[in-house]
Amino acid sequence: MTIKAGDKLPETTFTKPTENGPEAVPSTDFFAGRKVALFSVPGAFTPTCSAKHLPGFIDKADELKAKGVDEIACTAVNDVFVMGAWGKGAGAEGKVTMLADGNGDFANAVGLTMDGSKFGLGTRGQRFSMIVDNGVVTELNVEQPGEFKVSTAEHMLGQL
């Protein structure tokens, strides 16, 4: 079943790249007591994700934080090392936290997976964004296949 606005996020564990190596991040801890702008991409270094999605949130980070967002996070079904390299190469440090969902546990738990096997990607997370307030989804924006409209930083700014 797909998560919806008003639902509490399920308990899963992300992995975050740090200077000291991979760090396990329980979802309940990450989202507790604050407002998080979370967006999911089908894959690090893929065309739309690299050219538009991540850069949009990097560019709008200050505006999102000015509207009450405590942290901006990007997740993808990629390993922590790929997420770390992608974030570093894109200039996300200090603006967007990269959260690896290496086994797709989070994407599966929120019911937002997609089949990317046609492109050699296997099961991935869909392109979406959500505003999470103290662990509860207050806004959920899921893209239709091949689209890039409602999961953007600009769209999210209009929701805050």
- Six token digits for residue 24: 């396990």
Q: Which residue, 91, 58, 85, is CA-closest to 73?
A: 58
Quick check: is 74 catalytic? no
What residues contact 120, with CB distance under 8 A and at least 6 apart? Answer: none
Which candidate in 9, 41, 44, 49 is catalytic? 49
CA distance 112 to 124: 9
d(CA 109, CA 96): 22
Which residues are tagged catalytic? 49
